Amino acid sequence: EAQVTQNPRYLITVTGKKLTVTCSQNMNHEYMSWYRQDPGLGLRQIYYSMNVEVTDKGDVPEGYKVSRKEKRNFPLILESPSPNQTSLYFCASSLSGDGYTFGSGTRLTVV
């Protein structure tokens, strides 16, 4: 089944403890992206990638890192999480920028 898989689905962590949210797609898509969703703010793009080793900042990149070493994987790294990064995170992929397929989301709580 064609899909975008994120892990974990739920995560509670403490301030400052490095974490990684994984994202994998099995559709051989070129583009991948991370979004965060907050009430009243909609979805805001964190980073996106056009291909292996090619990434660019979205609207809210501060406090996040990404890497694209393989086409199928696009992990999101929070080196030192803070409470304002508590959010619902979505990974997405697209064949050619013509509309993203979204994962099921990761609900992150930073205490």
Partner 1 sequence: AQSVTQPDIHITVSEGASLELRCNYSYGATPYLFWYVQSPGQGLQLLLKYFSGDTLVQGIKGFEAEFKRSQSSFNLRKPSVHWSDAAEYFCAVGASYGGSQGNLIFGKGTKLSVKP
C-beta neighbour count of 110 within 10 angstroms: 20
Nearer to partner 1 among residue 39 and residue 111 (C-beta): 39
8 binds partner 1 (CB under 8 A): no
d(CA 53, CA 95): 16
Among residues 1, 10, 99, 111, which is the contact residue for partner 1, using CB under 8 A? 99
Residues 24-83 that bind partner 1 (CB under 8 A): 31-33, 35, 40-45, 48-50, 54, 56, 58-59
Among residues 61, 65, 102, 109, which is the contact residue for partner 1, using CB under 8 A? 102
d(CA 56, CA 34): 11
Closest CB 100 distance from partner 1, rounded Å: 6
CA angle 107/63/9 to nearest 5° reads 15
Residue with tokens 């508590």: 86
